[in-house]
A and B are shown apart, each in its own frame.
Chain A
Amino acid sequence: KQEVTQIPAALSVPEGENLVLNCSFTDSAIYNLQWFRQDPGKGLTSLLLIQSSQREQTSGRLNASLDKSSGRSTLYIAASQPGDSATYLCAVGSGTASKLTFGTGTRLQVTL
């Protein structure tokens, strides 16, 4: 059974800092990994999708890497801003087609 862990559970950084969020998964037989953002009381917004054959994806200040063999992914956020404050969820696609297994998320707060 696939299990996804995210560390840390919560993180507070001052504005402008670069930061890294971590995600690990137990079964390396995945077909993709997706990073989402969730604002309080809201749904999920997809940030980056990495296919199993890829090593990384970039979008603006965000960069996500994937090391399938070690079961790890990182989400790098450059020059953090208060608007980046949210919960970041990692989800792994494996097993039955389109099934995503989620981590419990990292709650990020960027302070002024």
Chain B
Amino acid sequence: ETGVTQTPRHLVMGMTNKKSLKCEQHLGHNAMYWYKQSAKKPLELMFVYSLEERVENNSVPSRFSPECPNSSHLFLHLHTLQPEDSALYLCASSQQGLEGETQYFGPGTRLLVL
């Protein structure tokens, strides 16, 4: 679990707030991912970064804004969220972002939007 860390672990925010989720990986990987896990639904891929460039945006609303300043850090900036955005947000990393690689996951941030 210490390979990929996420902060905060829990977050409660109002619909008008702005907050950020942080992910850090200590595995020397070059690719990082954001996933959303809602109750009773499969994990959904949101964004993929490889070598700090966004390579995938899975039709995510603009109220979610990712940032990858370097290969070890990934942020998800949140603004004007809706109650249906409440979910577990998981970060993952892999070696190069190529097919066939194992992805390593962080513990997640449990987000509640009121």
**Interfacial residues, chain A to chain B (CB-CB below 8 A):** 4, 31-32, 34, 36, 41-46, 49, 51, 89, 91, 93, 96-105
CB neighbors of A among B67-114 (8 A): 88, 90, 92, 94, 97-108, 110
**Interfacial residues, chain B to chain A (CB-CB below 8 A):** 1, 4, 6, 31, 33, 40-45, 48, 50, 55-56, 88, 90, 92, 94, 97-108, 110
7 tightest CB-CB pairs across the interface, nearest first? A44-B105, A102-B43, A43-B105, A43-B107, A102-B42, A97-B99, A31-B99
| B94 and A98 within 8 A (CB) | yes
**With a CB–CB cut-off of 8 A, which chain B residues contact A36?**
105
Would you call the interface of chain A mostly helix, strand, loop, or mixed?
Answer: strand
Minimum CB–CB distance from A77 to chain B (whole Å) comes to 20
| A97 and B97 within 8 A (CB) | yes
- Compute how far the CA of A99 lies from the CA of B58 in the bound complex, rounded to whole angstroms: 10
